[in-house]
Structure formats: C-alpha cells, structure tokens
Amino acid sequence: MSFSKAPRSGDRAPQGRCLRSPSRTTTSLFEEFRGTTSTLLLFDGLAQAAEGYATLSRIARRVEAHLSNEIKIHIVVSAHDQPEQLDWDGSILLDPEHQLHRRYGADAASLYFVRPDGYIGFRSQPAREEPLLEYLGKLFLLQE
C-alpha cells in the first residue's frame, strides 16, 4: 500500500505482529499501544540506510527529551535483526516480513503518532522532525 492510501490522521491505527529486539519475542502493535500514553512509530522504510537511521534516532531522542513520560517510542525496522547503523537504545520492533510497513504505507522512512485511544493523530513521509515537534508542542503545550 502506498503512503497516500495508508491510514491517515483520525483513522484507527492498524494492528500487526512484529518482534521485539533483541529478544525476538512476538508482540503486536496493540500490545505495544496498551496504557495511557501515546505512541510514536518511526518506520525505517524498505531501504535501510545509515542516513535514514540517523534521522530516525535524532527524532526519537528529541521526542524522548521533551516527552519521555508521555510518549512510548518504537523504531520499526524492516529486518530480522537490529541494524548495526541504528544508534538507538530504546524500543526496536522488527518487521522482517514487512507486514507493518505495508499496512502503514511505509516504503520510505515514515512516522506515525498514535494517541492513547489508538487513533492516528499525525503522520509524515518522509519522517520529518520539525512538523512533528510543532504538532507535539501544541498538543502537549510545550515551551521552547
């Protein structure tokens, strides 16, 4: 599915199975969404590149610095193992069959902000830091 036809803001976030890294235990997005916090999914796309991983890691760290108690952050990689180029010690979800990438139209690096009620609040492809931070700033009333 292309990003233009993928779930949009206001749509329910799709379910899908994946593996937690490094344990390789099976989980699902709905399991990861549990609780009262929001979720940020950062997809690597299908072209695994060091530059893309650097961008996703930077976005994850910026969001974590401002909202670590409000947002769970997962980097979703289209691989069987955590890529060596990915410099992130937070949650990594493995999507070796690309099921989640297809459901979210994440052929390229993408991000989805999922509200605690399971609905998408914001999405971006390519994964862009500034529009996300602007959205989160308004939502969480952040002061710069």
Condensed to tens digits (0 to 9), the pLDDT of residues 119-130 reads 999 999 999 999
Residues 3-138: name the CATH superfamily: Glutaredoxin (3.40.30.10)
Query: 48 CB contacts (<8 Å, ≥6 apart)?
Result: 77, 78, 79, 83, 85
Task: Decide: residue 93, CB within 10 A, 0-12 exposed, 13-18 middle, 19+ buried.
Answer: buried
Taking the model in full, what pTM does it have?
A: 0.94
Condensed to tens digits (0 to 9), the pLDDT of residues 74-108 reads 999 998 888 888 999 999 999 999 999 999 999 99
Domain ranges of the chain: 3-138
Q: State whether residue 58 is helix, strand or coil.
A: helix
Condensed to tens digits (0 to 9), the pLDDT of residues 2-57 reads 888 899 999 999 999 999 999 999 999 999 999 999 999 999 998 777 888 999 99
Per the CB < 8 A criterion, the answer to whether 110 and 124 are in contact is yes
Distance between CA atoms of residues 75 and 2, nearest Å: 20
